Amino acid sequence: MGQYAAPLRDMQFVLHEVLNVEAELKNMPKHADLDADTINHVLEEAGKFCSEVLFPLNQIGDQEGCTYEGDGVVRTPTGFKEAYRQYVEAGWPALGCDPEFGGQGLPIFVNNAMFEMLNSANQAWTMYPGLSHGAYECLHAHGTPEQKTVYLPKLVSGVWTGTMCLTEPHCGTDLGILRTKAEPNADGSYSITGTKIFISSGEHDLAENIVHLVLARLPGAPEGTKGISLFIVPKFVPTESGEPGARNGVKCGSIEHKMGIHGNSTCVINLDDAKGWLVGEANKGLNAMFVMMNAARLGVGMQGLGLTEVAYQNSLQYAKERLQMRALTGPKAPEKAADPIIVHPDVRRMLLTQKAYAEAGRAFTYWAALNIDRELSHADESVRRDAADFVALLTPVIKAFLTDNAFEGTNMGMQIYGGHGFISEWGMEQYVRDARINMIYEGTNSIQALDLLGRKILGDMGTKLKKFGKLVQDFVEAEGVKPEMQEFINPLADIGDKVQKLTMEIGMKAMQNPDEVGAAAVPYLRTVGHLVFSYFWARMARVALDRQAEGDPFYPAKLATARFYFARLLPETASTIRAARAGSKTLMEYDEALF
């Protein structure tokens, strides 16, 4: 079955020693009174819920899966409903939500850290409240006052859950060709008709109502994405008192049988004259839905981080216990029949890869969440603007780089387990299967790479990238003169310079041939991902160097992992840069008849 313990020590290190969040909060009036002890207590309690309640259900959910019982009824695996009840009663759905609607008003970065633990413990279960929080964010930003009054308190409390209904049988990422229709009714509502597929958490038995956010076309709407509108389509139409009323014409037709995340219901949703209400402006639904989509992309990055962490924890425990052969330099456990496999160099390579990716991913995503708080709440307008640019630039990197790394990390976990990794009862192969979807949904990682290079960087002539580059350069200039930091600063400065030159080269080529962007995008994103990880590993190394003499083994371990990252993982950029420079010719001039 495995194990999971919230990595509270490392979480606290990132929040308080690297990011210094308590000082940051002093510049955010609505959070200025929040202190480190309160943050730590919240995360400790969340960690207990994750390890004691959710983690024991992870394998059960995978083995049982969800059950479609006909007529739109879906049953979740054993224990899921009770765990959700406990989650709601403890107030966890309200953690980062607006107090005006019953939320606790804690910063986004606290909620983000909680979701790391939730995903480590049980990704499939976590998708139910995760999508609900995205629906809350969308309606909080774009709902009318009346819509907010009816729906937000229910979503904040967790009494109702939410979904996002985008994909249709004939279109996935290309939403411009969706066919679901919305016809206006005399009472100001709309009749929605169409079919949506791959709708995570689309039907279940956890909550009394489900709030579907549905993309559809109004009569006479422009073609393409400029003609898409967004609608609230509840499973049960709320009464005047705000309680679930009549059953709406939205129903689950079936659930998908999937490679992983079996505990989450992935549904075909049929809308048959379902009653819906317009969110935001007509024909501008994609703008409103992007609030939820971006929240989901950050959330998927946290799924990748969560799986990387739990795979590492279990791989490490197994490597310490599993006996296999002797160390090449002689027995390390002579009293035993063989040495534990952690003595072997390649096992250590895989463990340290998992560890390095998890710890850099944690620093990166917590910093990104802190920037969302800065964007929303900082007293200084220029800080808010810079924070928004950082989040916009790096959201596709969080989604793609962290989920690519998670698939690699979980596969390494299965390799460390050897034959037992391929056997279900040990639990590691589930992480591999669960991790695979994260590279696909909410925009495939190829789409994220195109978004990063084409829209976020070349689309604004590199303005946002230069802003992040200045952050890196300022750190390099401040620390580069210190001998003890040379081993971290020199490679950081080098990769920063290479990304700048690579970006200019691709931009020039793309002016002549737009396919150059598509050909370079995926290796380019991995290169930028390593630039970001290098920056955070250098920052973490700085803190660890300052405190390594204290006698706490945590800091020497952090330095050792940083050295591993720069020696073993950052060199991947030699190949990704070369691949990004290879151009589109060998791809696009290949005769289709030869495939």
pLDDT in tens, 74-119: 999 999 999 999 999 999 999 999 999 999 999 999 999 999 999 9
Coil/strand/helix, residue 406? helix
Mean pLDDT of 350-368: 98
The pLDDT mean for the chain works out to 96
- Percent of the chain at pLDDT > 70 equals 100
Identify whether the C-beta of residue 568 lies closer than 8 Å to the C-beta of residue 353: yes
Residue for token pair 């992007």 = 290
**Taking 80 as the threshold, does the pLDDT of residue 377 lie above it?**
yes
**Taking 90 as the threshold, does the pLDDT of residue 459 lie above it?**
yes
HEC string of 73-116 equals: EEECCCCHHHHHHHHHHCCHHHCCCCHHHCCCCCCHHHHHHHHH
Quick one: pLDDT at residue 293? 77
pLDDT digit string (tens) for 208-240? 999 999 999 999 999 988 999 999 999 999 999
Residue for token pair 């030869």 = 594
Query: How buried is residue 3: exposed, middle or buried, by Cβ count under 10 Å (0-12/13-18/19+)?
Result: exposed
pLDDT digit string (tens) for 15-48? 999 999 999 999 999 999 999 999 999 999 999 9
Quick one: pLDDT at residue 198? 96
Residue 53: band (very low, low, confident or very high) from pLDDT cuts 50, 70, 90? very high
Mean pLDDT of 348-375: 97
pLDDT digit string (tens) for 541-567? 999 999 999 999 999 999 999 999 999
φ and ψ of 346, to 5 deg: -75, -30
Quick one: pLDDT at residue 295? 81
Pick from 49, 42, 95, 115: nearest CA to 298: 115
> β-pairing, 229-234 with 266-279?
antiparallel
**Fold of domain 8-142:** Butyryl-Coa Dehydrogenase, subunit A; domain 1 (1.10.540)
Active-site residue set: 442
Least confident of 74-78, 281-285, 499-503, 527-531: 281-285
Whole-angstrom distance, CA of residue 109 vs CA of residue 368 = 8
Identify whether the C-beta of residue 311 lies closer than 8 Å to the C-beta of residue 431: yes
Residue for token pair 């010719």 = 585
CATH assignment of 161-284, given 2.60.40.10, 2.40.110.20, 3.30.428.10, 2.30.130.10? 2.40.110.20
pLDDT digit string (tens) for 492-517? 999 999 999 999 999 999 999 999 99
**Taking 80 as the threshold, does the pLDDT of residue 292 lie above it?**
no
Pick from 163, 179, 287, 295: nearest CA to 232: 163
Residue 1 is encoded by which pair of tokens? 């079955």
Quick one: pLDDT at residue 543? 98
Quick one: pLDDT at residue 294? 79
**Taking 90 as the threshold, does the pLDDT of residue 260 lie above it?**
yes
Quick one: pLDDT at residue 283? 94
pTM over 0.95: yes
Quick one: pLDDT at residue 87? 98
Whole-angstrom distance, CA of residue 88 vs CA of residue 114 = 14
Q: Alpha helix locations (H) across 514-589?
A: 515-547, 554-564, 572-581, 585-588
Residue for token pair 């946290």 = 302
Mean pLDDT of 396-402: 98
pLDDT digit string (tens) for 167-207? 999 887 777 789 999 999 999 999 999 999 999 999 999 99
Quick one: pLDDT at residue 172? 75
Quick one: pLDDT at residue 212? 98
Quick one: pLDDT at residue 177? 84
Which residues lie below 8 Å from residue 370, measured CB to CB, with a gap of 6+? 19, 21, 24, 107, 108, 109
pLDDT digit string (tens) for 311-324? 999 999 999 999 99
Quick one: pLDDT at residue 569? 98
Quick one: pLDDT at residue 330? 95
Phi-psi region of 161 (alpha: psi -120 to 50; beta: other; left: phi over 0): beta
**Taking 90 as the threshold, does the pLDDT of residue 402 lie above it?**
yes
